[in-house]
Structures are given as structure tokens and as C-alpha cells.
């Protein structure tokens, strides 16, 4: 599939939010306990690990754009067995975790903005994935968008 204007728009907004997150002044200093900071650091590390694993598993299918690659394949193994968009999940975890680690309310707000962006970006992406892969709808029903579906985590059957 060819890259469309909407692809560039989503990636542009994402890049702007990343830059804003990195350069954000800490105007909203949170008064958090040491436990929250340590937990935030752990979540940040887990988030980056998820990003790395997901990127390695995507391999040649990796693209910054929501439009799937032309000759791409649908991954349903590894982290993709549990989460449809693990890179977005990892980014959200890393951003939220670091926000708590640094006690930064501005970064928490930017992380919430990223969550909203990723929700709409993944909706758009999934419409395209349904067109490209006939079994994507079934995959959606079994797999969580950003975080694992409970039935997968606990092996619940209908």
C-alpha cells in the first residue's frame, strides 16, 4: 500500500509529541514517594524492553507509518500474540514510567496525549490491516490493542 497524507499527519504529530516530551519543562512537579519513582523506573525499563523485542520481531515489516508494508506479513507470535501494538504499548509504558520517575506532571499530560494519538493511529492502521489480511479481525478479537487481553493472560476460554 502507498503512504497517504494521514500517515504523515500521524507520524508528524507523534514526532512533535516526542520532542515536546523530551524538552518539557517540569512546571507541574509531583510530590511522589520514593516507591513511585522506583516503580516508574522499572516500568520505563520494561517499556523499552518491549519496544526492542517488538522491533526485532517486526524485522522487515517495520515502518514508522500506520500503512502496512506492501509485502508484509501478519505477526501473531511473540509479543504480538498478546498485544496488537506492542511498540505503542512500550512507548506508553516508558513515557509514563519516566514521568513518574522524574515526578513530572507535564510529561504525564504528554503521555496521555500520546495515548489518545496511538488510539486513533491504531484505529486507522487496523482498518488497513483488515483490508490486507483476511484473518486480522479474528486476531483482533483474541488480542489486546495496547495491553494483553485478559483471556490470553489467564487462558480463559468461552
Tens-place pLDDT, residues 31-58: 777 878 899 999 999 999 999 999 999 9
Q: Could you count the other beta carbons within 10 Å of the beta carbon of residue 5?
A: 7
**34-60+75-158 in CATH: which number?**
1.20.120.1630
Beta partners for 143? none
Provide the terminal-to-terminal Cα distance of the chain, rounded to the nearest Å.
36
Lowest-pLDDT range of 6-20, 95-109, 111-125 = 95-109
Residue extents of the structural domains in the chain: 34-60+75-158
**Distance between CA 143 and CA 21 in Å, rounded?**
29
Q: Are the CB atoms for 6 and 65 separated by under 8 Å?
A: no
Residue 59: its pLDDT value, please?
87
Residue 48: its pLDDT value, please?
97
Backbone angles phi, psi at 103, to 5 degrees: 55, 45
**Distance between CA 28 and CA 19 in Å, rounded?**
18
pLDDT band at 156 (very low <50, low <70, confident <90, very high): low
How is 129-147 classified by DSSP, letter by letter? Answer: HHHH-TTHHHHHHHSBSSS
Average pLDDT, the chain: 89
- Asked if pLDDT for residue 158 goes beyond 70, the answer is no
Amino acid at each position: 500500500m502507498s503512504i497517504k497524507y494521514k500517515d504523515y499527519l500521524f507520524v508528524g504529530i507523534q514526532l512533535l509529541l516526542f520532542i515536546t516530551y523530551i524538552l518539557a519543562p517540569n512546571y507541574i512537579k509531583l510530590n511522589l514517594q520514593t516507591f513511585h519513582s522506583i516503580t516508574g523506573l522499572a516500568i520505563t525499563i520494561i517499556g523499552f524492553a518491549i519496544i526492542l523485542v517488538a522491533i526485532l520481531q517486526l524485522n522487515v515489516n517495520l515502518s514508522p507509518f500506520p500503512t502496512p508494508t506492501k509485502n508484509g506479513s501478519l505477526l501473531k507470535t511473540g509479543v504480538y500474540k498478546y498485544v496488537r501494538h506492542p511498540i505503542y504499548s512500550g512507548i506508553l509504558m516508558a513515557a509514563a514510567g519516566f514521568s513518574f520517575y522524574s515526578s513530572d506532571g507535564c510529561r504525564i499530560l504528554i503521555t496521555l496525549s500520546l495515548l489518545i494519538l496511538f488510539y486513533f493511529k491504531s484505529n486507522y492502521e487496523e482498518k488497513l490491516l483488515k483490508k490486507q489480511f483476511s484473518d486480522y479481525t479474528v486476531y483482533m478479537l483474541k488480542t489486546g490493542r495496547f495491553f494483553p487481553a485478559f483471556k490470553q493472560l489467564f487462558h480463559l476460554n468461552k
